[in-house]
Amino acid sequence: YSATLSPWLWMLSRRVDSRIFQEQTIEAVIRTVFAAYGALPDFEFQLSQPLKTHSYITQYRESDLTFVLRLLEHEGLFFYFDHNQEKHTLIILDHSRDLSPLPQQPSIRYHSASVTETADSITEWRSHRRLQSGRMSIQTFDYKQPRNQLPVGMPSLNEQGNVDAYEVYDVLDHYSHGTFKDGERLVRQRLEAIEVQGKTFTGNSTCRAMYPGHTFELTQHFDHDRGSAEDRSFLLITVKHEGS
């Protein structure tokens, strides 16, 4: 036989609903959704700034899980699970700059698999570069400002050489942003989602202490040792453990 273990968040995929939320923040809506699952949800919001109050949010014929993930993505929020011996807590954040290093192994050595090594180490390391869109522009409709479509545009911070911008242009749902400042925040969030895909790293290791949502310092790698401390710091976004 075999068994698949899932975090409590998976239970939200079992319920489908349609409803409307008015004059609430994304955090308030998510707390309402989680409240329907009693004592099962264990979560924390760790936000650096207050969230916008939305005049109208609709869940329409979608599971609670799909709904929550859509709201998080729209608001530029992300999450990881904090595991201990008693529970696993969902941590929801709006920034990654203050994420903590791996508690058991904050520094990891690069070491070829062809050489005997007693400590957990990274045995393969690969960098990936992808050309991404270089500009994002949006507009919306607000019945309170019918003549102002609130256009907002912003270039990417990624340096990709002498290539076209390949702009992403989108007309968002009604009331997506009521001010230019709110529009800038939306564009910045969407651009960051694109920019992060422009330069990524993958690898293999023998590290048992790795899990997403934490950083580590890569040491003794021939490319990164020549750079600054920032060039040696990496955020784990996906970890797959295999054993036999």
Query: What does the pLDDT look like over 118-141, one tens digit per residue?
Result: 789 999 999 999 999 989 888 877
Q: Structural domain boundaries of the chain?
A: 8-93, 107-129+199-235, 135-195
Say what the pLDDT of residue 170 is.
86
For residue 186, pLDDT over 70 is answered with yes
The CA-based dihedral angle spanning residues 217, 222, 223, 226, taken in that order and rounded to the nearest 10 degrees = 80
pLDDT in tens, 104-123: 999 999 987 666 677 899 99
Rounded distance, CA 158 to CA 133, Å? 9
Structure confidence by residue, pLDDT tens digits, 31-46 = 999 999 999 999 999 9
Confidence at residue 112, expressed as pLDDT on a 0 to 100 scale? 75
Q: Please, what is the Cα angle at 177 between 174 and 178, to 5 degrees?
A: 100
The C-alpha atoms of residue 67 and residue 26 are separated, in whole angstroms, by 11
Q: Which of 71-85, 146-160, 172-186, 192-206 has the lowest mean pLDDT?
A: 172-186
pLDDT of residue 99: 93
Pick the CATH number of 8-93 from 3.90.170.10, 3.40.50.2000, 3.30.460.80, 3.55.50.10: 3.55.50.10
Identity of the amino acid at 121? S
Query: Which pLDDT value is given to residue 97?
Result: 85
Cα separation, 46 vs 166, whole angstroms: 34
